[in-house]
Chains A and B, each alone.
Chain A
Amino acid sequence: MILDFQPSLVILGKIGFLLIGTAGTAVAAPGGPVAGPDMFSPASTPAHSIYRLALFVIVVTAAIFLTVFSLLVYSIVRYRRRSSDDEREPPQVYGSNQVELAWTVLPVLVVVVLFLAAARVIHAVQDPRFPPGTIEVTAVGHQFWWEFRYPQQGFVAANELHVPVSDPKHPTPTHITLLSADTDHSFWVPRLAGKTDLIPNRVNSMWIDPHDIGVYLGQCAQYCGTQHAKMLLRVIVESPDDFARWVANQQQSAKRIENVARGRQVFEATACVNCHTVAGTNGKGTFGPDLTHLMSRETIAAGAALNTPENLRLWIKSPDDIKPGARMPAMQLKDQELDDVVAYLSSLH
Chain B
Amino acid sequence: MFDAEPMPRPIPFPAGRAVSRPLFERLHEWVTTVDHKRLGIMYILYALTFLLIGGVEATIMRIQLIVPHNHFVSPQVFNRMFTMHGTTMIFFVAMPILFGFINYMLPLMIGARDMAFPRLNAWGFWMTAFGGIILYFSFFGGSGLYGAGSAPDIGWFAYAPLTSPAFSRGHSTDYWIIGLLVSGFGSIATAINIVTTILCMRCPGMTLGKMPLFAWLNLVTGGLVLLALGPLAAAQIMLLIDRYLGGHFFDTQAGGAAVIWMHFFWIFGHPEVYILAIPAFAFVSEIVPVFSRKPIFGYPIMVAATLTIGFISLSVWAHHMFTVGMVSYANAFFVASTMAIAVPTGIKIFNWLGTMWGGKIVFKLPMLFCIAFLFQFLIAGLTGIMLGAAPFDWQLGNTYFVVAHFHYVIVGGILFALFGAFYYWFPKMSGRMYNERLGLLHFVLFIIGFHLTFDFMHIPGLLGMPRRIYTYEPSRGWDMWNLIITVGVAFQAAGILVFAANLVWSSLKGKLAGNDPWDAWTLEWTTTSPPPAYNYATLPEVKSRRPLWDLKHPEDPDWKYE
Contacts and interface: CB of A to CB of B under 8 A. Distances in A.
Given A38-B464, A118-B390, A100 B356 contact: no
Contact of B395 (A27, A50, A75, A127): A50
A241 B332 CA distance: 40
B395 to A, nearest CB: 4
Contact of B462 (A39, A95, A123, A125): A39
Closest 6 CB pairs of A and B: A194-B394, A37-B464, A229-B469, A204-B325, A95-B298, A200-B252
B395 A39 contact: yes
B380 to A, nearest CB: 11
A313 B363 CA distance: 66
Interface in B59-104: 74-76, 79
Given A95-B299, A118-B390, A183-B161, A61 B385 contact: yes
Contacts of B393: 194
A306 B339 CA distance: 45
B378 A81 contact: no
B382 A61 contact: yes
Given A121-B391, A184-B258, A204-B325, A218 B464 contact: yes
Interface of A: 17, 20, 22, 25, 27-30, 36-40, 47, 49-50, 53-54, 57-58, 60-61, 64-65, 68-69, 71-72, 75-76, 79-81, 85, 89-96, 99-100, 103-104, 107-108, 111, 114-115, 117-119, 121-123, 125-127, 178, 182-184, 186, 188, 190, 193-197, 199-202, 204-205, 217-230, 232, 324-325
B390 A91 contact: no
Interface string B395-408: 10111000000000
A216 to B, nearest CB: 11
A79 B386 contact: no
B8 interface: no
B356 A76 contact: yes
Contacts of A182: 161, 167
Contacts of B295: 92-94
B267 interface: no
A190 B464 contact: yes
B360 A90 contact: yes
A215 B371 CA distance: 47
A199 B261 CA distance: 12
Interface of B: 74-76, 79, 153, 155, 159, 161-162, 167, 252-253, 255-259, 292-295, 297-301, 323-325, 327-328, 331-332, 335-336, 339-340, 342-343, 346-347, 349-351, 353-354, 356-363, 371, 374-375, 378-379, 382-383, 385-386, 388-395, 397-399, 459, 462-464, 466-473, 475-477, 553, 556, 558, 561-562
Contacts of A54: 386, 389, 391-392, 395
19 contacts: A49-B391, A61-B382, A65-B378, A68-B349, A76-B361, A90-B360, A93-B295, A94-B298, A99-B298, A111-B343, A118-B339, A118-B389, A195-B394, A200-B253, A200-B258, A201-B255, A217-B464, A221-B399, A223-B468
Interface centre among B299, B379, B390, B391, by most A CB within 10 Å? B391
A89 B549 CA distance: 11
A122 B331 contact: yes
Interface centre among B323, B351, B379, by most A CB within 10 Å? B323
A118 B388 CA distance: 9
Given A53-B391, A94-B298, A122-B391, 19 more contacts: A40-B462, A61-B385, A72-B374, A75-B356, A79-B361, A92-B295, A111-B340, A115-B339, A122-B328, A123-B328, A126-B327, A184-B161, A186-B398, A199-B324, A205-B325, A217-B464, A220-B466, A232-B473, A324-B76
Contacts of A49: 391
Given A54-B395, A229-B469, A324 B75 contact: yes
B392 A107 contact: no
Nearest to B385: A61
Given A92-B295, A100-B301, A325-B75, A80 B361 contact: yes
A99 B63 CA distance: 49
A188 B255 CA distance: 26
A36 B162 CA distance: 30
B332 A94 contact: no
Contacts of B347: 100, 103-104, 107
A111 B76 CA distance: 43
A89 B357 CA distance: 13
A196 B476 contact: no
B358 A196 contact: no
Nearest to B82: A223
Nearest to A25: B477
Contact of B323 (A28, A196, A227): A196
B343 A122 contact: no
A183 B154 CA distance: 11
Contact of B360 (A65, A85, A122): A85
A201 B475 CA distance: 35
A60 B339 CA distance: 13
Contacts of B374: 72
Nearest to A53: B391
B326 to A, nearest CB: 9
Given A22-B459, A79-B360, A92-B294, A194 B375 contact: no
A117 B464 contact: no
A119 B343 CA distance: 19
Contacts of A91: 294, 358
A265 B303 CA distance: 77
Contacts of A126: 327-328, 331
A117 to B, nearest CB: 7
Contacts of B257: 201-202
Nearest to A205: B325
A114 B339 contact: yes
Contacts of B392: 50, 53-54, 57, 118
B323 A93 contact: no
B162 to A, nearest CB: 5
A118 B332 contact: yes
Contacts of A64: 382
Nearest to A113: B339
Contacts of B298: 94-96, 99-100
A58 B323 contact: no
A195 to B, nearest CB: 5
A201 B325 CA distance: 13
Interface centre among B253, B339, B389, by most A CB within 10 Å? B389
A102 to B, nearest CB: 9
B285 to A, nearest CB: 13
A84 to B, nearest CB: 11
Nearest to B398: A221
A230 to B, nearest CB: 8
A197 to B, nearest CB: 5
Contacts of A17: 462
B332 A79 contact: no
Given A61-B386, A126-B327, A218-B464, A94 B561 contact: yes
Given A65-B379, A183-B162, A111 B331 contact: no
Contact of B293 (A37, A90, A107, A186): A90
B463 to A, nearest CB: 6
A193 B186 CA distance: 44
Contacts of A224: 162
Contacts of B294: 89-93
Contact of B463 (A37, A204, A229): A37
A225 B346 contact: no
